[in-house]
Amino acid sequence: MKHMKNNINWLIAAGFVLISGAASAQKSVETSAALEFRNYKDKLMRQDMDGAKKSLEKAKGFIDQAAAHADTKDSPKTLYYKGEIYSNYLIFGMQSMDTVLMKQIGDDGLDQAVAAYKRGYEVSDKFDDDIKQGIGEKKMFLYQFTEMLFTNKMYAEAIELYDLQVDFSSAINEIDTSSIYNAGICAENASLWEKASDYYKRCADLNYRVPEIYKKIAITLINAGKNEEATTFLQKAVEKFPNDEYLYFYIGTMYIDLKDEAKATENLEKAVQLNPKFNEAQYQLGKHYLDIASRLRDEAAQLDVKEQKKYDAMIAQSLEFYKKAAGPLEAYVAAVPNEKAVLISLYQIHKALKNTEKALEYKKRADEIR
């Protein structure tokens, strides 16, 4: 009986040693991944691209072993280095144009990197600062690369990288609203109207660039052929912010772009009514009236000589709009006195209205500006 007890104790001890040895071996694999990753970064700094690639591949081999083993798969260290190693496959691949290397992590490799960062951030605080720094470095690189893509009008590719920046931020429970917005800009430039609208709607839900974003949502919906949805959306925006002069201003300028004079007038007038010191709205409203007056005068000039009554009516109507234009533009130059283009517009307005003295006054002020 005593002999049996000794055997049991020995078996337990031996089992403990074996288990401890296995765990220790896995920790060694985890450490090897970290060491090879550091070698990769050192070689990259020295511009040893072949050496860096070999170290990165070795690091991946070790981290895949660690991530597959029960003892280390949820280790904060393994999760951090998996995020670093897998995301650096993208960075190195883009820097060296090595598409073969990028394929080694598979189509879901970047998703795995983000998931590893996220899990590592959740399970322990030990590597939180490292994860934040790693994500910040990746985003900085991606941002610079994305700007290059945008400049070269490679909008679809830029959208993918902006989405990736959003994913990286989500790993540390942050929302990268600027990247969501920029993805919308790319989609808009690519005439992917519904996609652009979806990005802008996400921005609106996050209160990013409100209320300006509502104009962009409406324009993209209209360009997507969803006029009714655009109108409904704007109505909801106005209901939500009934006294926001900026919202009416953005809606008004949108309708100017869409050549809807009546709705443009209605919304710009509302913006000025809500805030008489809103200089941009004063300027836009005055310019809008002036454009209408000029259009009426040009159309009248194209009439046949036999259409005298119609001509007289259109000229009279244009004069009414010249009068309307004078008020907001004069309010604007009262606040911004050295805007030469506006002073010239006021000279032309008062000249058309036969207010000679005022016309000369504005002309003199415009001429004095160099």
| % of the chain residues with pLDDT over 70 | 93
Residue 338's Cβ-side half-sphere holds a number of Cα atoms within 13 Å equal to 3
The string of pLDDT tens digits covering residues 263-321 is: 999 999 999 999 999 999 999 999 999 999 999 999 999 998 889 999 999 999 999 99
Mean pLDDT confidence for 63-67: 95
Q: How far apart are CA 363 and CA 177, in angstroms?
A: 47
Q: Do residues 184 and 208 lie in contact, with contact meaning Cβ atoms separated by under 8 Å?
A: no
On whether residue 338 sits in a domain, the answer given is no
Q: How many domains is the chain built from?
A: 1
Compute the distance between CA of residue 274 and CA of residue 81 in angstroms, rounded to an integer.
56
Question: How far apart are the C-alpha atoms of 343 and 337, rounded to whole Å?
Answer: 8
The pair of structure tokens assigned to 293 is: 């007056």
In a domain, 368, yes or no: no
In a domain, 110, yes or no: yes
Amino acid letter, residue 113:
A
Residues contacting residue 266 through CB under 8 Å, at least 6 positions apart:
252
In a domain? residue 242: no
Q: What is the pLDDT of residue 23?
A: 47
Question: CA 296, CA 345: separation in Å to the nearest integer?
Answer: 16
Separation between Cα atoms, residue 68 and residue 258, nearest integer Å = 58
Close Cβ partners of 339 (under 8 Å, ≥ 6 residues apart):
332, 333
Is residue 126 in some structural domain? yes
What's the chain's average pLDDT? 90
* CATH code at position 98: 1.25.40
Q: Does residue 56 fall inside a structural domain? A: yes
188 pLDDT band, cuts 50/70/90, is: very high
For 237-279, the pLDDT digits (tens) are: 999 899 999 999 999 999 998 899 999 999 999 999 999 999 9
Q: Can you give the pLDDT at residue 15?
A: 41
Separation CA 292–CA 284 (nearest Å) = 12
d(CA 44, CA 49): 6
Angle, CA 324 vertex, CA 321 and CA 330 arms, to 5°: 130
Instruction: Tell whether 91 is covered by a domain.
Output: yes
Domain that holds residue 111: 22-174
Q: Decide if 36 is inside a domain.
A: yes
Give the pLDDT score at 26: 59
